[in-house]
Structure formats: structure tokens, C-alpha cells
Chains A and B, each alone.
Chain A
Amino acid sequence: MKTKLALVTALVLTLAACGTTTQNGYTGANPVQRTTTNELNTIVFIDHSLNRTDITKTMFGEKVSNTVKVTLDRSGMSNTATGQLEVWTMIRNRTDYDLQIEGKALFFDANQAPLMDESMWRRVFVPANGTAIYKETSLNNRAEYFLVELREGR
């Protein structure tokens, strides 16, 4: 009986330990996005409730679960007639509720050095199951790289 109990306790403890998400030192539920490096020319969600991936270690391996409220259907960059860098993305609301998304862009020069060109938060209203466009232009023609951050409107 004692041996049985000890075995059950050990199993429970092992499973409990396995169930904890661990990513680069973070314990508990932490999205992958929290620890990944933001590359330039990318659009990232800094509000992890909008779009995130959780990896949970289980005894059967890693369990990946995606939480998706908002996705980016298309994105692109181009230059305006005056030579500024223009970045745009098509935001898709996958919920049955209207959402407000705020975006801000940071621009970098050819050497990936910051141009101190950081836009203010631009609010975009995305209707339930609908689409909206976020677009931002740099201040001058020296911008060659960008980083766009999206969060839920405040």
C-alpha cells in the first residue's frame, strides 16, 4: 500500500512538473512571443492576448496552442513619391466583437540604426470578423527598415 501511494505521488508530481510551461527561464503560461527577438521589417503583437503561441511541455512532448483574436492577412512596404518608407498591414478580426487596434511604427536606416522616427499610436477600428488597414510612413527617405507594434486600443 505504501509503495502504491509513493508511486502515485511521484507520478502526480512528475505530471505537475511537466505541465508547467517553461520558456527561457519563464515558468507558468508565457507565450513564445515574449522571449523571441523582434527582427526588423516585422509586425508584432505586443498585446499577447490578441495573438500568441503557448508551448506546454507534457510527458508526451510539447503541446502547442495558438490563441488568435486578430491576424495579419497581408503586409507590405513601399516608397512614397517623396521617397519615404511606407509600411502597411491588413488586420483581420477573427472574433464576433468589434475591436480597436493601435499600431506604432519605428523606422531604422540602412545600417539598422534607429532614426528616432517613432510614430504615435494610430487607432484602427476593426469590425467583428472584418478587416482594416494600418499604414504608416516614415519621416524621411533614409528609412529602410521598420518595426511595427500592435496592441489592443486603450
Chain B
Amino acid sequence: MKYFLLTVAASTMVLAGCQSTSTIDNSAGRATVYEDTRSPGKVQGVGVESQDIMAVTDQMMRDMLSNPQLMNRDVSPRIIIDSQYFTNESSSRINKNMLTDRLRINLNRAANGRLTFVGREYADMVEKERDLKRMGVVDGGTIRSTQATAGADFRLVGRIMSLDAMDTQSQERSRYHQITFELIDLELGTYVWSGMYEFKKSAQDDIMYR
């Protein structure tokens, strides 16, 4: 009887030992952190951030939509909004297209046909397709054929500028941004609409923008 009990105990211990060699880590991982793009996030510095991009484009869009010179025309004006003449002269690293694309897309959606946007950035692509159609390589499509592509009435120009200051004792720095947006009449060369967005941030800046 004693031998039987000893054998059972030994085999139980051996089996228990075998079971403890499992390599599966069943602990919880780090949860993905989504943040509200309209508000400052956990990582923030003195540069242009998502909430700034969204706020500036939203304000400019609403301002343009409430401008009678642009919106109260019998024929919807043709506008080019891209980053060609929108320059970054600031010390902030930023993709200018984030501003111009967001402005154009939201404006196009909100204007609902009251403004027409010309895609000059993709003029090459359009010309190639038109050539193929004219040469008979492809058919004429289903919409229509025109003498030429659309000429624009207005074009967006603007600048991102900044003024930096740093306290050499505390290493705290501040950056003032001034972002200007203007629409130029492409016949007369006059400004038909102007808008500006300014903000200043200060921080113990160790944030790197990429």
C-alpha cells in the first residue's frame, strides 16, 4: 500500500512539473490609444499639431463660405486650392498638403456646388487622358468632351510663418505661428478674400515632429 501511495505521489509531482513548462504569455497587452484629433493629445509641443490643422482649416472654410464676393455669384467661381503657392516659412516641420487638402475637401463638401474646384495639381493626368481620347486609343467616355480643361478664377496663396523665443536658463521655448490664406483673382491679380490664423504655444520643448 505504501509503495502504491509513493508511486502516485511521484507521478503527480512529475506531471505537475511537466505542466509548468508552458511558454504562453497570457498577460494583457498595451491597449491601442486613440486620441481626439480636435484636442491636444498626450504628446504636445510648440509646433503645428492636429488640433491646429483642424481648427485653422475649419475657420478658414467657414469664413470663405460666408464671403458674399465668393458665394453670391450667379455662376459658381472656379478655384484652385493646393499647396503650390502656399509656403512654409516657419520653423515648424509640417506637410503643407495637410492644410490645403483639408481646406479644399471640406470646402468642396460644404459648398455643395456653389464653388467649383479645379484640380491643377493633376493637370498632367487629365491631359494624358484627353490625348488618348483625341487619338482614338480610348473612347470618349460617357460624360462629354470639352474644347479645353477648366480655367480658374481664383487661386489660394498663403504662408506659414513663425517667431521663436527661448529662455536659455530654463530651456523653455515659445513659438508664435501666423498662417495666412488669400485668394487671388487670376485675371486681375487682386486679393478677393483674406484670412489669418494665429496662435502661440510655449513648452519645455522636447517633442520631435516628423
Contact present for A121 and B66 (CB under 8 Å): no
Given contacts A81-B72, A154-B39, contact A121 B67 (CB under 8 A): no
* Chain A contacts for B152, CB-based, 8 A: none
Given the complex of chains A and B, what is the CA–CA distance between A119 and B59 in angstroms? Answer: 8
Q: How far is the CB of A148 from chain B (nearest CB, A)?
A: 14
Q: How far is the CB of A141 from chain B (nearest CB, A)?
A: 10
Interface bits B46-58 vs A (CB < 8 Å: 1, else 0): 0000010011001
Given contacts A120-B38, A120-B54, contact A82 B67 (CB under 8 A): yes
Query: Interface size bucket, A side?
Result: 10 to 19
Given the complex of chains A and B, what is the CA–CA distance between A137 and B62 in angstroms? Answer: 6
* Chain A contacts for B68, CB-based, 8 A: 81-82
Interface bits A96-129 vs B (CB < 8 Å: 1, else 0): 0000000000000000000001011111000000
Contact present for A139 and B55 (CB under 8 Å): no
Q: How far is the CB of A146 from chain B (nearest CB, A)?
A: 13
Q: How far is the CB of A7 from chain B (nearest CB, A)?
A: 53
* Chain B contacts for A81, CB-based, 8 A: 66, 68, 72
Determine which of A80, A82, A86, A120 lies in contact with B59 in the assembled complex, contact meaning CB atoms within 8 Å: A120
* A/B pair count, beta carbons within 8 Å: 46
Determine which of B38, B66, B112 lies in contact with A82 in the assembled complex, contact meaning CB atoms within 8 Å: B66
- B140 within 8 A of partner (CB): no
Q: How far is the CB of A138 from chain B (nearest CB, A)?
A: 8
Contact present for B65 and A139 (CB under 8 Å): yes
Contact present for A121 and B38 (CB under 8 Å): yes
Given contacts A82-B66, A82-B68, contact A121 B39 (CB under 8 A): yes
Q: For residue A81, which residue of chain B has the nearest CB? A: B68
Contact present for B65 and A84 (CB under 8 Å): yes
Contact present for B62 and A136 (CB under 8 Å): yes
Q: How far is the CB of A147 from chain B (nearest CB, A)?
A: 16
- Additional 19 contacts, C-beta under 8 A, given A82-B68, A84-B65, A123-B55: A80-B66, A82-B71, A82-B72, A84-B66, A86-B66, A117-B110, A119-B62, A120-B38, A120-B58, A121-B39, A122-B59, A123-B199, A136-B62, A137-B62, A137-B65, A139-B62, A139-B65, A139-B110, A154-B40
* Residues of A participating in the B interface, judged by any CB pair closer than 8 Å: 80-82, 84, 86, 117, 119-123, 136-140, 154
* Residues of B participating in the A interface, judged by any CB pair closer than 8 Å: 38-40, 51, 54-55, 58-59, 61-63, 65-68, 71-72, 110, 112, 199
